[in-house]
Chain A
């Protein structure tokens, strides 16, 4: 777990990517946004929160429901 975290930090610090603003045509597409379908995500989080012992990860832990 630590190794992944360190690798990520190293990746960020070295700035491995240098995509210029004018090269962002693909990244700017709505489906490339991390939150492309927020309601789908919220619905999934709600279902899995009530049926499994894990929650969150993508964002805050979810919950706020007596279902678990």
Chain B
């Protein structure tokens, strides 16, 4: 309840910030010693009543003289809707115990099971300080904090940059560390333990935690008067509890592929099939390489970016992004945006677990660890006002299409939907102004 009030207050504050901007003072020549604000309202909605997220963000930057800069960002998110549990579709209806362990939810025949008990509110606060350290050095330090119903995050980062070659080249290196606490609704399930009847918490433990260490090395290079290149290599090391506590796998007959039927204890509600909670390794190392080129063709600006990511869970991904900012008149622009993403599945990705076979050490049916590709297509329109403010609107469509690995499909699973497409609309309104 208090979360909801906080959210309302945050939304009200963001709205006031948006409306209050019309009373801003006339533009002054100097950019130093002033606050600038970047605000955004976001709606993210998936089709078929899946996840919906409404979010408000306000970012305030204070420019001091001597290129010193303070940045503060506050974000409030509210999430509702259903998300795929990892269990597979069946010819008949299925019932599951909800994560809290206090109720059940059901899925109709032929449908991919979605857990509709999903609801959360998240607040995040980030602060950063940037300043020159010596003539050619810049240092930036940041702190971050976020909280939601079942999750808390604290983090800190430090980035050092040095200019070379008449400031045509910048090399940077940074480190970021975070510690997250996970306190799942109903407790963290023991990996690969079976989903139990309502009221039976024998397989649930308390809270868990994870640490993430990121290292980043970057190069920014001016290629010519109208082109700039950015290259980053980053390494990310996560350790601790890396499971999604709400994801499960169906345990199936090794010949038919149908979920093993289970009857709840007499007088109790509970799952009508055998389901086990997922189990991921407790460490993950990721390597990413990112390249971005910005080029101005006169007034229009083309941005292209590519990222390759590879981790020790067996996932490789490629991301390509193109944006073209095209001015319309003196005050407006449109920017078509296109993004393509493709990933391979994790080594331990499983469609289901075969009954009677020894349990693997690690297994997850989370679609996000599966083999899929995704396309985002969108358009942004921006307009600056006579007072120097700018508003913009962005509308995007996101679609994921995945495949279950052929060699994992058993019997009747072949004729059922195993990997439904995910379709989402993203709408964003932003307003940027100075005080």
Majority SS of interface residues in chain A? loop
Q: What size tier do the contact residues of chain B reach?
A: 35 or more
> What is the interface size of chain A, counting residues whose CB is below 8 A from a CB of the partner?
47
Closest to A1 in B: B289
Say yes or no: A57 contacts B319, CB within 8 Å.
yes
Q: Given A4, A27, A47, A48, which contacts B222 in the complex, CB threshold below 8 Å?
A: A27
Contact bitstring B72-104, A, C-beta under 8 A = 1, else 0: 010100010000000000000000000000000
Query: Complex formed: what's the CA distance from A53 to B343 in Å?
Result: 8
Give the shortest distance, in Å, between B377 (CB) and chain A (any CB).
14
Q: Do A34 and B228 contact each other (CB < 8 Å), given the known contacts A19-B168, A21-B166, A52-B343?
A: yes
Report chain A residues within 8 Å CB of B346: 53
B352 at the A interface (CB under 8 A) = no
B57 touches which one: A43, A51, A58, A64 (CB < 8 A)?
A43
Instruction: Report whether A42 and B220 are in contact in the complex, using a CB–CB cutoff of 8 Å.
Output: no
The B contact surface, by secondary structure, is: strand
| Contact B219 A8, beta carbon cutoff 8 Å | yes
Q: Which residue from A19, A43, A66 sits with its C-beta under 8 Å from B151?
A: A66
- B341: Cβ under 8 A from any A Cβ: yes
Given A17-B168, A65-B151, does the pair A56, B59 have CB atoms closer than 8 Å?
A: no
**A26-B225, A53-B343 known; A39+B164 contact, CB < 8 A:** no
Interface 0/1 of A21-64, CB less than 8 Å to B: 10111110101101000111011000110011111111111011
Taking a contact as CB atoms under 8 Å apart, the answer to whether B400 and A42 are in contact is no
A40 to B224, CA, bound (A): 27
Q: Is the CB of A32 within 8 A of B228?
A: yes
Given A12-B171, A40-B394, A51-B400: A27 and B232 interface contact (C-beta under 8 Å): no
Q: What CA separation (Å) do A55 and B226 show in the bound complex? A: 29
Contacts of B122 in A (CB 8 A): 65-66
- Chain A min CB distance to B206 (Å): 16
Q: Contact: A17 with B222, CB < 8 Å? A: yes
CA A56 to CA B292, docked complex, whole Å = 13
Contacts of B228 in A (CB 8 A): 27, 32, 34
Q: Which of the candidate stretches B176-184, B253-261, B354-362 sits at the interface with the other chain?
A: B176-184
Stretch among B17-25, B36-44, B269-277, B410-418 lining the A interface? B36-44
In the complex the two chains form, is A26's CB within 8 Å of B214's CB? no
- Report the minimum CB–CB distance from B352 to chain A (whole Å): 20
Decide if B165 is an interface residue (CB 8 Å cutoff).
yes
A58 proximity list for chain B (CB < 8 A) = 232, 290, 292, 305, 307
Interchain CB contact under 8 A, B168 and A15: yes
A34 closest partner in B (C-beta): B230
Confirm or deny: B325 has a beta carbon within 8 angstroms of a beta carbon on chain A: yes
Name the A residues within 8 Å of B171 (CB-CB): 12
Is B325's CB under 8 angstroms from A56's CB? no
A39 to B394, CA, bound (A): 12
**B311 (CB) vs chain A CBs: closest residue:** A53
Alpha-carbon distance A34/B221, docked complex (angstroms): 11
Pick 30 A–B contacts, CB within 8 A, sort by A. Answer: A11-B221, A12-B171, A15-B164, A15-B168, A16-B221, A34-B230, A34-B292, A39-B39, A39-B40, A40-B428, A42-B73, A43-B428, A51-B374, A51-B400, A52-B343, A53-B313, A53-B343, A54-B307, A54-B309, A54-B317, A56-B288, A57-B307, A59-B232, A60-B174, A61-B176, A63-B180, A65-B122, A65-B153, A66-B148, A68-B244
Sort A-B residue pairs by CB-CB distance and give the 10 closest, nearest first.
Answer: A66-B151, A57-B290, A64-B153, A57-B307, A60-B176, A15-B165, A54-B309, A54-B317, A61-B236, A57-B288
